[in-house]
Structure 1
Amino acid sequence: MEVLGTQIRVQSLAQDGKVAVPPRYVQPAETRPKHDVGKRNDNDLPTPPVIDLSDSNSVHEELGRACREWGAFHIISHGVPLELLDEMRRVGRSFFEDCTMDQKLSYACDPNSPASEGYGSRMLAASNDKVSDWRDYFDHHTLPLSRRNPSKWPHFSSDYRKVVAEYSDQMNALAEKLLGLISESLGLPSSSIKDAVGEFYQNITVSYYPHCPQPELTLGLQSHSDIGAISLLIQDDVGDLEVWKDGEWIFVNPLHDAVFVILADQTEVITNGQYKSPPHRAITNAKNPRLSVATFHDPAKTKVIRPAFEPPKYRPVVYGDHVLSWYSKGPEGKQNVNALLL
């Protein structure tokens, strides 16, 4: 983000010790957290399911139920080395907390191009950036390999680039495995959804949410559904992720060794709405910074996505057009995928 030619980062604002957030981070009344942000764990509310991928007897049934009812769920026994999850969190946090601002800004993304690779604070096109999220991020372009250019990634640590590359490969394999199981849960051949998506375009986004002096007025990340095929998320122990279900925001309790799976818009279209891409958001807190690592698996922008079932409930869409709509109009929950409904 640039303001009057000066690059501003949320982490700098938090470190200034201000007691009030700047106006551009204040959410409209209707989008602010309605509950006490200091008391997020309500035992009376349901929580996203936890699915053990090693349980071959029930995994398809449990996945199908989770995809229909939630569109988001934790997975355990996922096959990704647990030490790699910790390493990815470690190097991501180290970039934000151990590097100087000048070092971080040397990797700044293009402020005039939404979602460009590098270190930034704003994802949307400037024309739609009316209220800013309380978040900084580093976005890596990791797949296909032709997009992977580690020279654009931080090298303050000798193993940062190695960890990101290994993590990319592991998440790619896990995403393919999950789409295969999800296809089978619908009675389709295991390759159906992956074939419809085509070659993965993978981005890894490390998000850093600094502590916020007024969490009741802000969001770390506004409500949205993911635009690609499937997203794989790991969190630290702070949490602050919420998923929309049955008219309520449900807090996602962080599970350290699990991967949180979020179905995205193109999977909703391919499954003809049987499985949904859930709106989700990040709230903020006054005490602790939060770190998450989201790995997005998307089609090529030239790929045409259409339902695999008849009669179709969604019109076909060129994925690049869907992306352009998201970044120019803004996410606002599910407005972009709902626009495809017939």
Structure 2
Amino acid sequence: MAAAVEQGICWSHERVQSVAEQGLLEIPASYIRPAEERPNSRQSSSLKEIPVIDLAQGGPDVSAQVGQACRDWGFFQVVNHGVPLELLERIREIGAHFYARPMEEKLAYACRDAGTAPEGYGSRMLVKDEQVLDWRDYIDHHSLPLSRRNINRWPADPPHYRSTIEEFSDETSKLAQRLLGFISESLGLPAQFLEEAVGEPSQNIVINFYPPCPQPDLTLGLQSHSDMGAITLLLQDDVAGLQVKRNNEWFTIQPMREAFVVNLGDMCQILTNDIYKSVEHRVVVNGERSRYSVATFYDPAKTRLISPAAPLVDKDRPALFPSILFGEHVATWYSKGPDGKKNIDSLVIE
């Protein structure tokens, strides 16, 4: 721990895993959410199957299915996606291995700064001191572009940890580009349109850990939010936890071990001129079982200007968003907090 302090690393609060391993019967007050945000609300729903799309067939049928899923849910799962199933198991294994290591070893990779997608091992998502904390630990890897990639900030144990992250980055970026192609085609745009609009991607790979919680009805693993970027790919394990808000009701997504959950971010909502929307989601925790997930965020560079696609703007549907510098949206998201979708909704031109 002293070495971590000497390196200037910021980890001023306990990791959730340490709290959970104390054997407490009640969670600390800092994790208790306001009554209206708790998952035992009457708004919560049982397991739900969102659209599952088989990418093996390809072509117009897949584009149509993707478009329908984007309109109806903003979330869907993909199978036969081309990412080797062995790689999915391998990245799950290195994640579980990391969280099983002694705390002093994990803290060697602690986040250096709070907020704005800090790289490394942390718990706190936002800069705000008064926030209610999430029941989650994470390790965030900056994987693309290569100029952001510093593998010395990634764990070295097991020996294949870093090469696994690199391979996973390559495979998921290809899948994200393919999916953006289907989304483009579903809107009547050229397949490369959205990928080119996003530009050189900024990709983060985040391995999440949600320990068992003694009072799961009082807290959340991850507070309600929409993703700020372009498109997100989520690999789940066998423990349900991801919930999606639809028609003011929360639906728990049925895990599929060989599938990726796909959801649109705020920048896709702007690029599609509000035809497709980012969707509010959250994570609930379990009283008995741990849950792991791996999220790949495929986003624009912070210097990228994002605006509604010109072919989707006309006199009958004017631009519903101004041009926005992605970095400004990120800074607002982290400083103010996500608060559902208020950050993106506040940008809509009346």
TM-score (structure 1 length as normaliser): 0.94
**CA contact under 8 A between 1:200 and 1:298: conserved in structure 2?**
yes
Distance 1:5 1:219, change over 3 A: closer
CA-to-aligned-CA distance 1:54-88 (integer Å, 9 cap, x gap): 22352111111000111110001100001101111
CA-to-aligned-CA distance 1:12-57 (integer Å, 9 cap, x gap): 11100000000000000111013589x9635xxx531000112235
SS in 1 for 2:106: helix
* 1:325 is the counterpart of 2:332: yes
Long gaps (5+) in structure 2: none
2:117 corresponds to:
115
* 1:270 is the counterpart of 2:275: no
Alignment of 1:143-182 (within 5 A): 143-182=144-183
2:69 corresponds to:
66
**CA contact under 8 A between 2:45 and 2:250: conserved in structure 1?**
no
2:24 corresponds to:
18
Q: CA deviation at 1:324?
A: 0.7
SS in 2 for 1:234: strand
**CA contact under 8 A between 1:209 and 1:289: conserved in structure 2?**
yes
**CA contact under 8 A between 1:114 and 1:122: conserved in structure 2?**
no
* 1:205 is the counterpart of 2:206: yes
* 1:41 is the counterpart of 2:46: yes
Q: CA deviation at 1:7?
A: 3.8
Alignment of 1:160-239 (within 5 A): 160-239=161-240
1:79 corresponds to:
82
Q: How many residues align?
A: 334
**CA contact under 8 A between 1:142 and 1:204: conserved in structure 2?**
yes
What is the rounded CA distance, in whole Å, between the counterparts of 1:224 and 1:204 in structure 2?
A: 18
2:34 corresponds to:
28
SS in 1 for 2:232: strand
Alignment of 1:282-297 (within 5 A): 282-297=283-298
Long gaps (5+) in structure 1: none
Distance 1:111 1:24, change over 3 A: farther
1:91 corresponds to:
94
SS in 1 for 2:109: coil
Q: Which amino acid aligns with 1:191?
A: Q
**CA contact under 8 A between 1:112 and 1:126: conserved in structure 2?**
no
Which residue of 10, 14, 19 corresponds with 1:8? 14
CA-to-aligned-CA distance 1:235-265 (integer Å, 9 cap, x gap): 1101200011111111001000001101000
2:127 corresponds to:
125
Distance 1:5 1:109, change over 3 A: closer
